[in-house]
Chain A
């Protein structure tokens, strides 16, 4: 099993462009998350989902949208990209057990110029 897969690995966007970061998991976990990590900083939660059809905002949701039509996929949409969205984006999945540990994908490095 691959765990969490993210595409693309790298992307450069121009200001105002839009894109979708893809995230897929093969463990049939209900819980999925999107984080961003700015240089030298910890991770901040953007959005999360506790199951298909259910999403909720995290700490820094502005400028992003998500959807969860299947258990496997949790895409993150950036509309009108801004330089402040330059970051590394990590998708994670969780088993949903009481202890809620999370397992992360390899990340997408996004630059907005």
Chain B
């Protein structure tokens, strides 16, 4: 079972910031939080990951709460091409298993 909880769907107006929440209340101290997205039927695309500190790259920002029990992925200026399913993932134990839950279906509206 996935160790994360995400809303099943969200809408965002084009050009506005999209804020996608994720709860991971049972995360362990050394587990990373990863975000991927899947556009239509393509393979998932890596977006960003973080451990404790907030992270930013050319695609998005990741805000992790101080207690690490939740995080928010921010797409600062959403475009129609950002319409996708977004997955928040916490790595299980220290092995290789990533568990993809159902994710959040983000619809960017014109």
A interface residues (Cβ-Cβ under 8 A, vs B): 4, 31, 33, 35, 40-45, 48, 50, 56, 58-59, 88, 90, 92, 94, 99-107, 109
Contact = CB atoms under 8 A, between A and B. Distances in A.
17 contacts: A33-B98, A42-B2, A42-B87, A42-B103, A45-B97, A45-B99, A58-B97, A59-B97, A90-B43, A90-B44, A92-B44, A100-B98, A101-B46, A106-B42, A107-B41, A107-B43, A109-B41
Given A42-B103, A90-B44, A107-B41, A101 B49 contact: yes
Contact of B96 (A33, A99, A103, A105): A33
Contact of A43 (B34, B42, B91, B100): B100
Interface of B: 2, 32, 34, 41-46, 49, 87, 91, 96-103
Contacts of B45: 104
Contacts of B101: 42
Main secondary structure of the interface of B (DSSP, over half): loop
A92 B43 contact: yes
A76 B85 CA distance: 26
Contact of A88 (B2, B41, B98, B99): B41
A42 B96 contact: no
Contacts of A35: 100
Contacts of B32: 99-100
Nearest to A43: B100
B96 A31 contact: yes
Contacts of B99: 42, 45, 59
Contacts of B100: 35, 42-44
Greatest chain B CB density within 10 A among A35, A43, A50 is at A43
A92 B87 CA distance: 16
A99 B32 CA distance: 7
